[in-house]
Structure 1
Amino acid sequence: LTKMPGGLTDIMEEWKSLEEDYQQIQETHRLYLQKLEEISKLQNNCSSSISNQRKRLKEISQQLKKCNKGLTQEETITIDEIKEKIKTRPNAFFDMEAFLPKKNGLYLSLVLGNVNVTLLSKQSKFAYKDEYEKFKLYLTVLLLLFSFICYFFVSYRFLDAILNFLLVWYYCTLTIRESILITNGSRIKGWWVFHHYISAFLSGVMLTWPDGNLYKIFRNQFLAYSLYQSFVQCLQCYYQSGCLYRLRALGERHNMDLTVEGFQSWMWKGLTFLLPFLFFGHFWQLFNSLSLFRMAQLPDCKEGQVMLCGLCFLILFLGNFFTTVAVVRQKMKSRNQKPKSL
């Protein structure tokens, strides 16, 4: 037998090693697909079991309401214990479902289709949440700088359009990301989600407002408002993230809780200094709304954007103001009740 050249011998040995690795990869991939199928079956079993549990809990709750009469003291205590346990189940199911695939809501279905957006590990959930917070902070700083430049240094409609386009993109992206975070267990809800939709619509209307006399009248007022809003949002992102980190470490907040543009009950300790800034911003929205409604009464007002922007600012004021007041009232009421219960 003729001896192969040294270089070819090395190549053959390397190829043999590659073949062995390839066989191992195939086996690993086969196991991976098998585990995926097992996980899929477990997910379906968990989802159906939770649905069944909810149905049975509803039935037993209705039955417990009927059997209130003729009970011994011991039976009453047992029923009260069952009722307390039933109250804790929805939160337990919510935490379980955060790791199970679920159907997208209407908004996500329209934007993304039927794509599964559930992140199945805690690490990936936290990574996505942290990326959301960074995105929000970086874009807020960028909008702050852009508003500052447009207000103090340049007065071109083209740059104003870029700013408004950035605002539309920012708020639309926030709504999509927040919907994904809610699917993955974040408890942000209510007005603080809805007001991003209104803000996106408002920015879109501002983007389409033609460059005329009325636009020039309102321009500086809007830019000053945007500058102030971005400044307050930077303050909120900075202080709320620190507060949330402390509360999570103490086990008082859920790990998927987010910073918001408004005020929530958990912000009471240490963040009440933000309230004057927030209320000033709310009344600025009302001032913008009234200014636009007055402009809509002018004889030379032919742009529909004036009335639309006025309505958007009015909705933002009403939602932000009454939601913040409701949170403050609720917190004050709970604080007043504590000494009485002691």
Structure 2
Amino acid sequence: MSLQRCQAEWEEIDQEYRQLQETHKVYRHKLDELTNLQTLCSNSVSKQRKSLRDLNYNLLRCLKTSDPKESEQIKAIQTQIKEKQHVFFDMEAYLPKKNGLYLNLVLGNVNVTLLSNQAKFAYKDEYEKFKLYMTIILLLGAISSRFILNYRVTDEIFNFLLVWYYCTLTIRESILINNGSRIKGWWVSHHYVSTFLSGVMLTWPDGVVYQMFRNQFLDFSIYQSFVQFLQYYYQSGCLYRLRALGERNQLDLTVEGFQSWMWRGLTFLLPFLFFGHFWQLYNAVSLFELASHKDCKEWQVLMLALTFLVLFLGNFLTTLKVVHQKFQKNKGKLGKKE
């Protein structure tokens, strides 16, 4: 290659470098503008929330001494206040916010807000794929430990995988909540409880009592992974249809339980779910009995019994509540038609 050609190539690279510098300056300027706009919007939302809370408090006081006409006006304003609260929630999904206690402990005070819809949906899809792949891996792992690899070390690997899986789920769900996903209630909390349960199983030393419960736990794990796979397969299809119709939020996720939006077309999942819930109760009862066994000296047995009982109560009562509310709602609709 001649010197003249090298010189021409260098000049071309140098020109692209100067253009890059100018583009980067514009980028930094726009980034500063974006940060200022984010701060302004966040402060305005906080101010609006406080003003609406104060106004709602004053309206409640006025409602006590108002006549029927004024009461209607007050209720109309209160309805609009609630609508604005939902709008604020959607606004905050695109604004940086302080992490909750759990994310602060795990990640520190790092901004995890994704600014574009594309980034949010990509992260949600990645979360769903992670759940699906890990469910299949855990199903295969439980089957292998139950029927092929009857070794303590493989049990430890399986239990460690469970701990890591549930820990990762809680972190990813917290990030999704920060980005506007409406995951709430027990279906978030039960992943924390499952993390704790898996951790206790991991620390349970091998012995007579452990071997008495081992196969029952692995059978339960196989069934639970199968049901989770079934739920993912049908819930994802149902959510896709509801999102297309505009009836569900784009960041709604598949869950390990039952929610009201699943009623149309997914009620066949209820027997599988209730059977799994009562299996958790059966595990709790079995462990309480093992805790009184003459060879039982491990604290893990009683702790696991209490944790399985908490899981049963949370899952069963939450599912029952959703079913009851749906029946009441349907009953009310039938009453209006009559």
Normalising to structure 1: TM-score of the pair?
Answer: 0.95
Aligned to 1:131: 126
Structure 1, residues 158-210: CA drift from partner, whole Å, max 9, x if none? 11111001000000000000000000011011111111111111111111111
* Alignment map for 1:108-257 (pairs within 5 Å): 108-257=103-252
For residue 326 of structure 1, what is the aligned residue in structure 2? Answer: 321
Distance 1:142 1:219 in 2: 19
Residue of structure 2 in register with 1:312 after alignment? 307
Q: Residue 2 of structure 2: SS of its match in structure 1?
A: helix
In structure 1, C-alpha distance between the alignment counterparts of 2:61 and 2:214, rounded to whole Å: 64
- Other-structure match for 1:81: 76
Which of residues 285, 291, 295 is equivalent to 1:290?
285
The structural deviation recorded for 1:71 is 5.7
Counterpart CA distance in 2 for 1:72 and 1:239 is: 49
Is the contact made by 2:208 and 2:295 (CA closer than 8 Å) also made in structure 1?
no
CA distance in 2: counterparts of 1:281 and 1:232, whole angstroms: 8
Q: Deviations over 1:41-61 (max 9, x none)?
A: 000000000111111111222
Distance 1:70 1:286 in 2: 52
- Aligned partners of 2:187, 2:332: CA distance in 1, in Å? 27
Distance 1:225 1:76 in 2: 55
RMSD (Å) for aligned C-alpha atoms: 1.3
Q: 2:29 aligns with which of 30, 34, 44?
A: 34
Q: Match for residue 266 of structure 2?
A: 271
Per-residue CA deviation, residues 103-136 of structure 1 (Å, 9 max, x unaligned), is 0000000000011100011000000000000000
Conserved in 1, the CA contact under 8 Å of 2:288 and 2:305? Answer: yes
Q: Report the secondary structure of 1:107's partner residue.
A: helix
For 1:16, the equivalent position in structure 2 comes to 11
Which whole-Å deviations, capped at 9, do the CAs of 1:252-282 have from their partners, x for residues lacking one?
0000000000000000011000000000000
Q: Compared with structure 1, are the counterparts of its residues 78 and 70 closer, same or farther at alpha carbon in structure 2 (3 Å cutoff)?
A: closer
Offset, 1:80 = 3.8
| In structure 2, distance between residues paired with 1:70 and 1:135 | 55
Larger Rg: 1
Residue 50 (structure 1) aligned with residue 45 (structure 2) = yes
Match of 2:297 in 1: 302
4+ residue runs over 6 A deviation: none
Give the partner amino acid of 1:184: N
SS in 2 for 1:67: helix
Q: C-alpha separation between the residues in 2 aligned to 1:201 and 1:76?
A: 50
Cα distance, 1:22 vs structure 2: 0.7
Structure 2 residue identity aligned to 1:189: K
- Residue 92 of structure 2 aligns to which amino acid in structure 1? E
Change (3 A) 1:67 1:139: same
Percent of aligned pairs with the same amino acid: 64
Change (3 A) 1:7 1:138: same
Cα distance in 1 between the residues matched to 2:117 and 2:205: 48
Gaps of 5+ in 2: none
State the match for 1:102 in structure 2.
97
Shift of 1:76: 5.5
State the 1:299 CA deviation.
1.7
Structure 2 residue aligned with 1:3: none
Query: Any gaps of 5 or more consecutive residues in structure 1?
Result: 1-5
Aligned residue pairs total 336
Against the structure 1 CA distance between its residues 212 and 76, is the aligned structure 2 distance closer, same or farther, given a 3 Å change threshold?
closer
1:298 Cα deviation from its structure 2 partner: 1.2
CA 1:77/1:198 → structure 2, altered by over 3 Å: closer, same or farther? closer
**Cα distance change, pair 65–208 in 1 and its aligned pair in 2 (3 A):** closer
Q: What TM-score results when the alignment is normalised by the length of structure 2?
A: 0.97
Distance in 2, matches of 1:36 and 1:269, equals 45
